[in-house]
Structure formats: C-alpha cells, structure tokens
C-alpha cells in the first residue's frame, strides 16, 4: 500500500468546537484579523477538520504506469476501506463528549463540569485541558471572589473578629494585674500548683437527653433539630429534609440525589447492599431488678408468652432481640409503636432470678418516643423495686444494612478487638452460659468476635437463628480504611462450616455482657478515638500494603449487632416466601463512633462489584413495602405517631393539589362513582378515617358521642391554626352543600384534633386471632367498631393502587353488583390456565385458521368486561367502604401493583365465601379493581 497523501493521525484531544461551554462570538471572516482570535481556537477547529478528512489515493500511486490489474485494484479498494474506517473512528472521537460526561451515572458529581477535582482521577488531566481550552478554569472556593450575601457575611465576621480581639485584650489586662498581686511571690504566674479534679457529674436518669453540642460553625443550623452523626456525608449526596421542616427533630436524608428506585431494589434483592443511618431511632434504657422490669413490660402490653414462656428464654438471657408492640397502660390502651427490646446478658453472680439487676434497651421510632418515654416514666415510678429509666437518644447511634452483600460489608468494616487485653474471658463466659438451655453443652472455644469473623460468605442474615444478636468490641475502623474485600468462602467444606455455625450458633454460649450497655465503655470509646492525624501517622508507619498493628491501648468500640428477617410469620402467598426473605443487620454503636464505621461501610468494595448504596427514608419505605411489611408510623394510622404522619401527608398532598391550576388538577367533586353518585368519598387527598368512622350509613351512638367529646377537647393551638383553614376550604370546594352540610360539621373539628380517640390499631397477632375465630379473646378494652388492622393487598387484575386509595368490600346490599364483581375474578374466568398476558386473551398468530378465529370471537364475547367499558361494574356504595391504602405502588418484586392499607376490622369479619376479595379504587378515579388481602 502506498498512500498518496499520508493518513492523518487521529486526534483524540480535548473539546471540539461544537461542544464547548463558552462559544465564540460570531465573527465575520473578512474582518477577522489574525490577532483577534487566540491561537488555540484555530488549532481546535483545524483538529476537527483534520479528524473529519478522509485520506485518499491518487490513481498514479495506486496503479503503476496506469496499468489496470487485479492486485492493484484490490489494494486500492483495501486502502479505501481502511481510510473510511479510520475516518469513522476518528470522527466519532472528534464528536467527543467532555470528560465529565464520560463518567458513569453513579460517579457523576454536581458541578463536575466546573471543578476538575470532582472528576475521577483518570479523566482529570483531560478535563483540565478542556477547561483550559474553554477558558473556564476551575475556581476553588478559597480563591473565589466572594459575592453578594457572602461578602456581607465575611465583612460581618471580620468586624466581629476585630471586636472580639479588642475585648479579649481589654479583658486580659486587668486580670493580669490582679492575679500577680494576689499570687504569692514565690509562685510564678501561669504554673499550676495542684491538680484540681473536677467532680464527675452524676448521671441524671429520668431526664430527656440533650443533643450533643455541635461545633460553633454548625451550631446555628441545629437549633431546632439535630444532625445525624453522618450528616455531612448525606448532605452532599442526598436530599435532606428542608431546614425549616425537620422530621422528628432530625435532619433526615430523604432520598439519594442519584436515581435510586430500581438500583435500591436490585441492591437489596439481587446483588449489593443498602445501608441507612438510623441514628434517629431512639433508645431507652431500663435498669433494675429483672422481675420489676418484666412487670413494667407486662403493664405496657408485652405478651405473657414472651415474658415467661419457654420460647423466649433466649431473649431473656440476652442473646436474642424481641420485636413487640407496646400499648399504653391506661385505658383505652392505645398502641404506641412496635419496639425492639434487648436484654443485657447477666454477668453477676446472683442465681435467684428476682434479685438480678439487669439492663435493657428499648428501641423505638422517634415519632413514638415521647409517648413511650412518658409511659415508661410513669411505670418506673410505681415499679417496686425501682427501675431507672434513661434516655440514650444521642448516645447510641445505629446503622441498618440489608442486601446480599450486607454481611460482607459489615465484616470489612468491623474488626473485632483482640481479646488479649481481657484475661478474665473464660470465667465470664462460664457464668453466661448458665441460663441458656440448649447450648450449654456446646464446647466454649471462641469469642463472639471470632464467630463474627467466621460469618464471611453469609449472604442472608435470615439464615441465622431468628433475631440473633452479637455483642462485641471492634477496633477503630479508620485503622483499616480504605477497607478491602474480605476473603470469601471458596470450598464446600468452608460453606459447610458456615452452615454448622448458623445451626449451632455458638454465640448463645459465648455472649457476655455487651459493653454498649456500659456507660463508661461507651464514653471511653467516644473520647479516646485518636485524631485523624494520629491515625494517619500510624498508617504511615505501617509496612506498605499492610494495615497498622493493633495495640493494646487502642480504643475498643462497643457494638451490638442483631439480625432481623423481613419475613413475617403471617406470610402466606407463595411468591413472597421465595423472594422476600432478605434479612437485615442493625448495628448499634456509640453515637460518636458511628461516623468512622459508616465511612468504612460505604467505601467497602463488595466482592460482587461496586460498593454498598445508602438509602434515605424513601428507600426504607420502599423496601418495607416490597417486603409486604407495614412501615411505622406511616402504615399505622391508628397510633398517635401514625396519625400525625397522616396529617402531615394530608397537608403536603393538599398543598400540592392546590398548587396546580384548576384545570390541571383532579376535581374530586366530579369523580363519578357509578350508580349516579358523584364526588369523592371524603377528602380526596386524605385517607379519610374520620369519614369512615363517623358517617356510616347507620350512625352509631358511640361515634356521635365521640364527636362531641372531640369538639370539647382543645387541640394544641398551633395545630388548630394550621389545620382548620385549609380543611374548611377543601370542604367548600368539594361538597355539594345540601347533603354534606352535616359532614362538614363533623369533619371540621376532627381535622383540627390530633386523633379521633376511638380510632385504634390492632397488631397483626391480635388481628389474626380475631379473624380466625370471631369469639377470640381480645383485651376487653378494644373497641371493635373502630379498630384498624393493617393489611397487604395484591391486585388481581391490572392497575396500581396509590396512597389514599379507597378499599371497599364486595357489595353487601346489591347482589347483582356483587355477582358482576365476582365474575371478574381471574379464578372464575374460563381461559385462566392459558399462558401469556394475564389481562387479556393471548394473541392469535397471523395465519390462524378460520375456525380458530371464530373460536376467539366467541371467547371474546364471553370475556368479562374490561375497565373503562360500559359493562364494567360500578364501585360499591359508601356503606361498603372499609379502609384506605396508606402505601401503594408498583411492586418491583411482585411485578404488579400492591399496596399496604388499613381496614376497619369490624366490617371485615363477616365476609362470607369470598371474604378476602376486596375492591380498591384510587382517589379521584371512578374505577375499582379487585384485590386480595391478607394481614400484614
């Protein structure tokens, strides 16, 4: 091949002319002198042109002497092919994206287009060059010219500083004069003669904890809320609660900035891990005689079988956690919240159970914290012998992590402290084992930390004994930062060993009193963490590629780790059993030690690639929803916390609705409900429990009495101020005056009040017992006419339920309509067993023969009416309204719409044959869908 013109070398250089950030001003080529344009711009354009030109061959070079023969013919074509292909390649590169656009989605950073340092290292040089070409160099904050507000602030700071310095100087002067006079002559000023030891402050129990005092720089931003220990991490990467509207007095991450609905689902089910900083969960410590603590628990509604039954021996020994619903002690025994309870293993010598003084943690959602706290205080006062109650809210932080890679990531972050420094190990363990029946004969050979490290390769904590718990001390995670992928199981023998461990669970015998229950240990772990500088120095001294050696003086961070499986005992649908058994780990650690653990966790390189993701509140709810579990407080509208959440949601939805122009929002008053009825049932943007309770077809005396009670009650002033006006407007907008006048009277005062007092929530256990046998013994205080039960609904046909969707039972008073609805059941359809789309007849092949087509025609005539057709059955009447959907969406795990809602248990009980088939209608639409429900 003899090229006539040499092929131009490809140019992969920086930004082309077309995709530059700063475009040149349009210039007239005639008047464009050589000096007007910087040299490099011409270079760019030339480069571009060169990249686009294709090299060619002249005839004389291709065909020697102009002779036509096959070999030169073929060579000339080959040359052309090469040239064109090169050209294609080069122009593709010349089309180039800028460096920051090449970064994969999860690595994109805000303002990466302005700041080279936000681009990954391998692209940094190129990005720098592009920015230089564009004349948009990176400006660091330090060198940026302060503008606008910032300048004002800086000036103020400068002035204040000058003032402060002046004042300090004045203050120092007279002081020096007086002290020198007062001091004896022989003592030099400034030297300390005696060390004055300050008194260690007595721990005040039964007092609400105060948030830790933040650094002065951040103090002003935490006046009305507290930051989580990992706030800075999240604030950069997630949408946080608005500064003016913290949730539960914390700045909580709501959702990551990057798109994460599907990635979260994948990370938690297939590959990866999702972690949350759950430090907002509140911890209450009870300390006292075991018998009196148990008595307190009994008073707030922990079941008898948990308190004394054989099944919960391990919980009482302190090697399992217990999830239970707690209730108020006084009538009406309102449900407070689901609470996790952990006993500390008893290390003392008292053998009589009653005499033991023990500690216990109660972990409760912050929205219900205050309610539980009050209740515990009240109970502790009357408990004999006394129980002390302590608020550990800002002392203990927590992380939750789920997904197949969760255990692996935790193993990479938590390195157990060496046991060398504690010599009395064996003796402790001997005592611990005594209460544990099943495992007392297990040879005690390893500590909890060692067992923990043997869990490498565990992909699902649900494999371990249910609610298993590990308490041990870990090293400062910063010593092992950045974390490296741990060695995973390779052989079958190792896999077998893991199974053996999970079956025998040696922790039961080896667990001793966990240090996290010990105030001193927590405190010393928090205060003795070395500075980052000291850690860096130690890391620098270590051999290259090695982590620094553990020293006996290293701080020992007490952690408590427990697994919880998402599987609810009530699960009955098969698909869930197979998919959603993903367990999760909860890690408790001292508040101040949480941040380094978090960083180690987040940067752990998973063996399956990538790193653990982090989630916000939305992800938490999403995963709970996909597991079919209700999320507290949102899915428990019968509790106080849940009611507040619902009110908050209402307000949000209403303002969103109002924001839209009239033509573009759902006009709830025009919704056709079928049978000539018009207008949404209740308020369209709310799960209108008041309407459900108070405007039934048969007005109950009790309910009416309830209303009057509520009208007398003075709600908190600010609630009334916020609530009434929008509600009033809403009612005016929505209702036809005549029949709804009464409803208005009823609804208005209710919206202002915190919660209708008769509304109560049943726990899953109670609900199941009640539904199994109508005469089941329930605590007598439960008012069945207004008790709610949380259920999970799966739509049987198409459709996706949304929050606020109305749930109806099958029509009770209209047998014809009921028959129409039942005809829609997929199990009643003739072609149910056919493969293909579950929503319609399978498609015929194009060349189907005539008789097949006719058959299809007949089939389609028998086909039940589709949604939207005239024959589609209308929604049942309001008397059949039984509840609302509180969470609903398309479920990625199930591949169809599901929802979690609450039903009035009284209207659910007498269902008859098709008792678990209900109808769901989204708020603002007239279309009902069949759904099957089960207690969640």
Partner 1 sequence: MVRIKHRYLLINILYPDPKSTSGRPATKPGDEVPYTVQFRRPSPDRMDGGVLTRLIRDGVAELFGDYGSGKVAGSLQVKYFSQATSTAIVRVSRDHYRLVWAALTFATRLPNPVGQPCVIQVVRVSGTIRKSEEEAIRRARLSIRQAEAAAKSSNAATAGLAAATPQLLSTEDDDVDMINGIEDPDDPRDIEEDLDDEG
Summarize as ranges the residues that interact with partner 1 (CB under 8 A). 54, 56-63, 66-71, 73-85, 87-88, 91
174 contact partners, CB below 8 Å, separation of at least 6: none
Instruction: Judge whether 424 and 432 are in contact, CB under 8 Å.
Output: no
CB of 126 to partner 1, least distance (A): 24
One-letter-per-residue 3-state SS of 313-335? HHHHHCCEEEEEEEECCCCCCCE
| Residue 79 or 315 with smaller CB distance to partner 1 | 79
| Residue 89 or 308 with smaller CB distance to partner 1 | 89
Query: Residue 359 and residue 648: Cα distance in Å, rounded?
Result: 36
CB of 67 to partner 1, least distance (A): 5
**773-778-781 Cα angle (round to 5):** 145
CB of 97 to partner 1, least distance (A): 17
| Residue 82 or 460 with smaller CB distance to partner 1 | 82
CB of 63 to partner 1, least distance (A): 6
Query: Residue 860 and residue 842: Cα distance in Å, rounded?
Result: 11
Query: Residue 859 and residue 863: Cα distance in Å, rounded?
Result: 6
Query: Residue 257 and residue 552: Cα distance in Å, rounded?
Result: 42
Tokens of 574: 């098969």
| Residue carrying structure tokens 């302060």 | 146
H/E stretch holding 776: none
Tokens of 619: 């992800």
| Residue 53 or 115 with smaller CB distance to partner 1 | 53
CB of 26 to partner 1, least distance (A): 14
Query: Residue 263 and residue 271: Cα distance in Å, rounded?
Result: 10
Distances (CA, A) of 671 to 431, 680, 878: 69, 6, 14
Instruction: Judge whether 471 and 514 are in contact, CB under 8 Å.
Output: yes
Classify 227 as helix, strand or coil: strand
| Residue 58 or 849 with smaller CB distance to partner 1 | 58
Q: Distance from CA of residue 599 to its chain's centroid?
A: 17
Tokens of 249: 């007095």
CB of 70 to partner 1, least distance (A): 4
CB of 22 to partner 1, least distance (A): 17
876 phi, psi to nearest 5 deg: -65, 165
CB of 643 to partner 1, least distance (A): 53
Query: Residue 726 and residue 744: Cα distance in Å, rounded?
Result: 13
CB of 49 to partner 1, least distance (A): 12
| Residue 59 or 860 with smaller CB distance to partner 1 | 59
Q: Distance from CA of residue 889 to its chain's centroid?
A: 16
Instruction: Judge whether 472 and 449 are in contact, CB under 8 Å.
Output: yes
Query: Residue 555 and residue 589: Cα distance in Å, rounded?
Result: 13
| Residue 92 or 166 with smaller CB distance to partner 1 | 92
| Residue 1 or 350 with smaller CB distance to partner 1 | 1
| Residue 57 or 766 with smaller CB distance to partner 1 | 57
| Residue 10 or 530 with smaller CB distance to partner 1 | 10
| Residue 80 or 814 with smaller CB distance to partner 1 | 80
CB of 101 to partner 1, least distance (A): 20
H/E stretch holding 790: strand 787-795
CB of 88 to partner 1, least distance (A): 6
The neighbouring-strand residues paired with 359 are 287
CB of 62 to partner 1, least distance (A): 4
| Residue 55 or 459 with smaller CB distance to partner 1 | 55
Query: For the purposes of burial, counting CB atoms within 10 Å of the CB of 445, is it exposed (0-12), middle (13-18) or buried (19 or more)?
Result: exposed
Instruction: Judge whether 908 and 840 are in contact, CB under 8 Å.
Output: no
| Residue 5 or 151 with smaller CB distance to partner 1 | 5
| Residue 54 or 550 with smaller CB distance to partner 1 | 54
CB of 133 to partner 1, least distance (A): 23
The string over 324-346, giving b where at least 16 C-beta atoms fall within 10 Å of a residue's C-beta and e elsewhere, is bbbbbbeeebbbbbbbbbbbbbb
The CA-based dihedral angle spanning residues 777, 783, 786, 792, taken in that order and rounded to the nearest 10 degrees: -30
| Residue 26 or 569 with smaller CB distance to partner 1 | 26
372 contact partners, CB below 8 Å, separation of at least 6: 284, 326, 336, 337, 339, 362, 364
Question: What does 81-103 look like in DSSP terms, one character per residue?
Answer: HHHHHHHHHHHHHHT---GGGSS
The string over 36-72, giving b where at least 16 C-beta atoms fall within 10 Å of a residue's C-beta and e elsewhere, is eeeeeeeebeebbeebeeebebeeeebbeeeeeeeeb
CB of 45 to partner 1, least distance (A): 16
| Residue 62 or 455 with smaller CB distance to partner 1 | 62
CB of 6 to partner 1, least distance (A): 15
CB of 463 to partner 1, least distance (A): 51
């Amino acid at each position: 091949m003899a090229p006539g013109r040499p092929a131009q070398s490809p140019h992969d250089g920086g930004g082309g002319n077309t995709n530059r950030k700063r475009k040149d001003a349009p210039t007239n080529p005639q008047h464009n002198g050589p000096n007007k344009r910087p040299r490099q711009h011409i270079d760019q354009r030339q480069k571009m042109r060169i990249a686009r030109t294709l090299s060619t061959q002249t005839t004389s070079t291709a065909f020697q002497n102009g002779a036509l023969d096959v070999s030169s013919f073929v060579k000339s074509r080959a040359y052309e092919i090469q040239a064109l292909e090169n050209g294609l390649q080069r122009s593709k590169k010349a089309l180039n994206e800028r460096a920051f656009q090449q970064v994969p989605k999860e690595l994109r950073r805000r303002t990466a287009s302005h700041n080279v340092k936000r681009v990954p290292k391998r692209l940094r040089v190129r990005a720098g060059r592009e920015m230089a070409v564009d004349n948009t160099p990176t400006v660091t904050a330090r060198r940026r010219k302060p503008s606008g507000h910032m300048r004002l602030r800086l000036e103020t700071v400068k002035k204040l500083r000058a003032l402060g310095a002046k004042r300090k100087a004045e203050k120092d002067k007279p002081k020096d004069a007086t002290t020198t006079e007062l001091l004896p002559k022989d003592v030099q000023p400034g030297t300390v003669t005696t060390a004055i030891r300050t008194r260690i402050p007595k721990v005040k129990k039964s007092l609400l904890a105060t948030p830790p005092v933040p650094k002065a720089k951040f103090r002003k931003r935490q006046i009305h809320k507290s930051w989580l220990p990992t706030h800075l991490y999240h604030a950069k990467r997630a949408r946080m609660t608005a500064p003016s509207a913290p949730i539960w007095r914390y700045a909580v991450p709501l959702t990551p900035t990057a798109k994460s609905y599907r990635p979260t689902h994948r990370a938690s089910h297939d590959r990866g891990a999702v972690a949350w900083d759950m430090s907002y969960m509140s911890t209450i410590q009870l300390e006292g005689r075991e018998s009196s603590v148990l008595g307190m628990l009994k008073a707030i509604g922990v079941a008898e079988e948990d308190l004394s039954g054989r099944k919960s021996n391990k919980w009482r020994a302190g090697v399992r956690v217990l999830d239970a619903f707690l209730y108020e002690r006084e009538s009406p025994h309102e449900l407070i919240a689901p609470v996790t309870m952990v006993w500390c293993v008893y290390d003392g010598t008292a053998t009589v159970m009653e005499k033991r003084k023990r500690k216990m943690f109660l972990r409760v959602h912050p929205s219900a914290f205050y309610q539980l706290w009050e209740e515990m205080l009240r109970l502790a006062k009357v408990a004999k012998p006394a129980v002390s109650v302590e608020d550990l809210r800002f002392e203990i932080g927590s992380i939750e992590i789920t997904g197949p890679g969760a255990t692996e990531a935790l193993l990479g972050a938590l390195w157990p402290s060496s046991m060398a420094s504690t010599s009395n190990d064996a003796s402790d363990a001997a005592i611990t084992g005594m209460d544990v029946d099943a495992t007392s004969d297990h040879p005690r050979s390893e500590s909890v930390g060692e067992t923990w490290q043997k869990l490498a390769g565990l992909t699902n904590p649900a494999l371990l004994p249910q609610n298993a718990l590990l308490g041990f001390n870990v090293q400062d995670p910063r010593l092992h930062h950045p974390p490296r992928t741990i060695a995973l199981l390779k052989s079958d023998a190792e896999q077998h060993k893991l199974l053996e461990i999970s079956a025998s669970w040696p922790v039961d015998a080896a667990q001793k009193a966990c240090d996290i229950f010990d105030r001193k240990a927590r405190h010393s772990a928090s205060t003795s963490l070395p500075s980052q500088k000291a850690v860096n120095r130690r890391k620098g001294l270590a051999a290259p590629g090695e982590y620094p050696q553990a020293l006996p003086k290293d701080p020992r961070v007490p952690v408590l780790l427990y697994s919880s499986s998402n599987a609810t005992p009530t699960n009955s649908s098969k698909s869930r059993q197979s998919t959603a058994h993903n367990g999760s780990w909860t890690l408790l650690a001292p508040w101040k030690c949480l941040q380094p653990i978090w960083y180690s966790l987040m940067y752990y390189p998973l063996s399956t690639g990538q790193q653990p993701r982090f989630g916000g509140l939305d992800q938490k709810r999403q995963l709970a929803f996909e597991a079919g579990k209700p999320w507290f407080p949102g899915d428990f509208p019968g509790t106080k916390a849940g009611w507040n959440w619902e009110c908050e949601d209402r307000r949000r939805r209403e303002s969103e609705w109002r924001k839209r122009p009239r033509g573009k929002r759902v006009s709830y008053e025009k919704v056709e409900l079928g049978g000539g009825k018009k207008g949404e049932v209740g308020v369209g943007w709310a799960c209108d429990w008041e309407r459900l309770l108070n405007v039934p077809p048969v007005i109950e005396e009790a309910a009416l009495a309830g209303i009057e009670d509520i009208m007398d009650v003075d709600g908190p002033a600010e609630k009334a101020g916020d609530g009434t006006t929008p509600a009033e407007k809403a009612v005016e907008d929505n209702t036809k005056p005549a029949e709804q006048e009464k409803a208005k009277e009823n609804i208005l005062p209710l919206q202002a009040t915190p919660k209708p007092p008769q509304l109560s929530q049943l726990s899953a256990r109670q609900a199941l017992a009640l539904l199994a046998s109508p005469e089941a013994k329930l605590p007598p205080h439960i008012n069945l006419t207004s008790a709610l039960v949380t259920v999970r609904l799966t739509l049987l046909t198409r459709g996706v339920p949304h929050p606020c969707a109305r749930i109806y039972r099958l029509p009770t008073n209209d047998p014809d309509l009921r028959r129409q609805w039942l005809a829609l059941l997929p199990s009643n359809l003739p072609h149910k067993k056919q493969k293909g789309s579950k929503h319609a007849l399978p498609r015929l092949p194009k060349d189907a023969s005539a008789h097949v087509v006719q058959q299809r025609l007949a089939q389609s005539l028998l086909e039940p009416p589709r949604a939207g057709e005239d024959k589609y059955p209308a929604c049942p009447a309001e008397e059949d309204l039984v509840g609302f959907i509180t969470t609903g969406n398309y479920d990625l795990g199930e591949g169809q719409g599901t929802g979690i809602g609450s039903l009035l248990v009284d209207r659910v009980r007498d269902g008859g044959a098709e008792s678990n088939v209900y109808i769901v209608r989204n708020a603002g639409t007239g279309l009902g869908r069949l759904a099957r429900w089960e207690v969640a």
